[in-house]
Chain A
Amino acid sequence: MRYALASMLVLAGVAAAGPAAAESLVASLTNHQVMVTSNYTGTELVLFGSVEQDATVAQHGPYDIVATITGPRQSLRTRRKQRVLGIWVNTAARTFIDPPSYLAVLANRPLDAITGADNRRRMQLGITNTPLPEIIHDDIGEVSNDPFRAALVRLMEERGLYSEASNAVTFLTPTLFRAAITLPAQVPIGDYDVDVKLFADGNLIAHTNSAFEIVKVGFEQFVVNAARDHGLLYGFATAMMALLTGWIASVAFRRD
């Protein structure tokens, strides 16, 4: 529902800008597939794009770009410790339903300079405007000024999984831009959405989408499949490997 509403709003925004739209947006990534191999330590993708102008219509002023990269969703539990009888124990917890496991908001200048607060909220622009629904009693809802939500965002930022950068998008020419997407090593495997919005004078005038996926390949994929699909066999193989290595070592280091 949330998404449907959001996309309706975005469509409405585009339609409203429609008649006057002299621009369209083209964007692409250097790579649409990130392969996780044994020497994988995180990577960087480059998003580049250009604003295509229709020469017959009047142009808009200086352009602003906001790119939002959203990783696969997974439920997270934020817990808070409290002192009970002298020891620190997890006492309170909130479960967040399907927050993005990776969220990067890249722009060429601060978001509040690009567009107004209403627009930012409607378009879910920036981390503060990204919905992070949590379970409240038996219900699911949004809580603003929630310390648990703030802690979730802070901890994700510390791990490099959530980021908001107002200098990540660079205009090479007035219409050509690039942005670096930094993926730390612990980003989860899965599909990532890239949403690029073009603003001028505080209004959304065009947007486009792209995507990439992070996949395990080769030996890594083989190990994951074996562990998941043939657990017992994998366990026996691992145990045999352990005992064999132990035996080899005791033979190799025999001194008596």
Chain B
Amino acid sequence: VQIYLPIADIPVNVFLVLAMGLAVGFLSGMFGIGGGFLMTPLLIFIGVPPAVAVASVTTHVAASSFSGAISYWRRKVLDGTLALTLLAGGILGTAGGVALFTWLRTLGQLDLVIGLSYVTFLSVVGVLMVAESVRAINRSWRGKPAELRRPGSHVWWFHGLPLKLRFKRSKIYVSAIPVLAIGFIIGFIGAIMGIGGGFLLVPMLIYLLRVPTATVIGTSMVLIFVTMTAATVLHAATNHLVDAVLALILIVGGVIGAQFGAHAGQRIRGEWLRLLLGLLVLSVGLRFAFELVLQPDDLYSIRLVEGAL
């Protein structure tokens, strides 16, 4: 069944978009990521203009992460204090990222910067996660006890920092400074790449702050839903590019998928979950890398000029 999207100005197959929403929603519920880095390229692939895709995906991500956050909150695997602290850093980071975004646009190399940052972040994070989780899985196969998480076993130099906070739900006692810094980095990169940043936040919380995997996902969802809701409103108010019809179809698929994903995520062991997320992130990163390195089918491309002479 074809339906015409009023803002994107193209007809799409409802079931195709619904299926994309379901699939990305499932992954987002399972891994605690927004899924923007998966959904945006998919939409562009089926013909949605890139700017409309980026803007509408923020709405989709807001809905699926909100739905996911509620179900994690019910299971009490969500750290409210940690989420609020990250958010404070995230807001500052978003402002900084938007400023850099504007500056890069005046230089005319925004596309390249976005492409390169996708490749860099996705590949690096993907490789690190795969390597770490494979080590963890190896350990458990050899029958050695899983690495016990000792209280306060986060990265050593965080110890010396002031402003220590106790994040009860995450069972960590750590300075607020690295938490704010992580929030800032996520907000900053998210604003430039047009993504929620869950795929960066999850490994940072796990490896830098040693937050338990279960708590990380719920907490990351809170941060993503707040920033993406704000992004929806900002995109709609400034660029008028949010396609509500497209967003609604994605949301219906996404929230249903996220519910199943959240249940599936609870059943899989932490290291396997990290391995799967790592492989997913790495494969998307490699796809972007191939796009930059391989000779394109068509060297030419056309694009509408906004507000031409």
List chain A positions with a Cβ less than 8 A from chain B: 36-42, 74-83, 86-90, 95, 97-98, 135, 147-148, 151-152, 154-156, 185-186, 188-189, 216, 219-221, 223-224, 227-228, 231-232, 234-239, 241-243, 245-250, 253-256
Contact = CB atoms under 8 A, between A and B. Distances in A.
B4 A39 contact: yes
Given A78-B301, A231-B236, A243-B62, A88 B10 contact: no
A224 B241 CA distance: 10
B240 A227 contact: yes
Nearest to B257: A249
B242 A234 contact: yes
A83 B295 CA distance: 8
B232 A235 contact: yes
Interface string B63-75: 1111110110011
21 contacts: A76-B304, A88-B292, A88-B295, A95-B305, A186-B10, A223-B244, A227-B242, A227-B244, A232-B237, A234-B242, A234-B244, A235-B235, A238-B244, A241-B251, A242-B60, A242-B232, A243-B66, A245-B251, A249-B256, A249-B258, A254-B74
B243 to A, nearest CB: 8
Nearest to B255: A249
B6 A223 contact: yes
B112 A89 contact: yes
A235 B229 CA distance: 9
A40 B6 contact: no
A37 B237 contact: no
Nearest to B60: A242
A122 to B, nearest CB: 27
A42 B47 CA distance: 15
Contacts of B302: 76-79, 151-152, 155-156
Nearest to A253: B259
A245 B4 contact: no
A97 B242 contact: no
Nearest to B242: A238
Contacts of B245: 38, 223
B11 A95 contact: no
Contacts of B88: none
Contacts of A39: 2-4, 11
B234 to A, nearest CB: 7
B66 A87 contact: no
B308 A75 contact: yes
A241 B300 contact: no
Interface of B is mostly: helix
Interface of B: 2-4, 6-7, 9-11, 47, 59-60, 62-68, 70-71, 74-75, 111-112, 116, 225, 229, 232-238, 240, 242, 244-245, 247-248, 251-252, 255-256, 258-260, 263, 292-296, 298-305, 308-309
A41 B10 CA distance: 8
A100 B299 CA distance: 22
A74 B304 contact: yes
B10 A250 contact: no
Contacts of A78: 300-302
For the complex of A and B, 7 pairs with smallest distance between CB atoms: A235-B236, A75-B308, A249-B255, A151-B300, A246-B66, A246-B67, A242-B63
B11 A76 contact: no
B153 to A, nearest CB: 31
B262 to A, nearest CB: 9
A228 B240 contact: yes
B232 A247 contact: no
Contact of A97 (B10, B247, B303, B309): B309
Given A77-B305, A78-B301, A239-B62, A223 B7 contact: yes
A141 B293 CA distance: 35
B229 A245 contact: no
Contacts of A75: 304-305, 308-309
A246 B229 CA distance: 12
Given A243-B225, A245-B255, 8 more contacts: A83-B295, A88-B292, A95-B305, A185-B10, A238-B247, A242-B232, A242-B251, A245-B251
Contacts of B300: 78-81, 147-148, 151-152, 154-155
